[in-house]
Amino acid sequence: KMIGDILVTKQTGERGVPCNKVMVCERKFPRREFYLAMMMERSFGGPVLIASAQGGVNIEDVAAENPDAIFKVPIDIFEGVTEEKAKDVIVKLGLESRMEETVTIIKNLYKAFMDNDASMIEINPYAEDTYGKMFALDAKMRFDDNAEFRQVEIFNE
C-alpha cells in the first residue's frame, strides 16, 4: 500500500516525498542504542565525526537537552579517521567491549562519506541487541549536489 503513495513524516515536511521502495527486515530488540554520523561542518572546515550514547532518538533533541552527550571530532581529510580518534570516541560511548568492530564501522562510515561525496551519513540507531550483536538499524544519507557529475548512479536513484 505504501509504494506509489506520498510519504509524509517530520523529515519530509508537509509536502512529503513519493515512496518508491520499501525495505523489509528482521525485527531487532535493541538493548542499547547509539548515534554515529559523519557530516560536513563549515564551523570545522571539513568532515566531523559526531557520536552519542543517546541514539535512537532525534539527535537535535539530545543536543538541546544535554549537549555534553554529543561528541564532535573533526577529521583531517588528508589523515582520515585514525585509530586513535575512533578509539577515543568508542571509549566515550562506553563501547570498549566492541572496540575492533566499532573502529571498522567508523572507518567505513568515513570511507563511504568521502567516496560518495556525502554531506551527511547518519546511523541512528547503531544498536546492540539482547544477544550482544551490533546492528545499524537505520541510516540516512545526503549527498553534495555539486558532485552529481561524479556520482551519477546515486543521483539517478
Q: Catalytic one among 14, 26, 33, 35?
A: 35
Task: Let me know if 110 is a catalytic residue.
Answer: no
Q: Catalytic one among 110, 122, 126, 128?
A: 122
Residue 23 pLDDT: 82
Residue 119 pLDDT: 86
Look-up of cell digits 551519513:
121
Question: What are the tens digits of pLDDT across the range 123-149?
Answer: 999 999 988 899 999 998 887 766 665
β-strands 17-18, 118-129: how paired? unpaired
Task: Let me know if 35 is a catalytic residue.
Answer: yes
Longest Cα–Cα distance of the chain, Å, equals: 47
Question: What are the tens digits of pLDDT across the range 85-108?
Answer: 999 999 999 999 999 999 999 999
Q: What is the pTM of this model?
A: 0.83
Residue 149 pLDDT: 57
Residue 45 pLDDT: 84
Q: How far is CA 151 from CA 1, 11, 37, 72, in A?
A: 31, 24, 21, 27
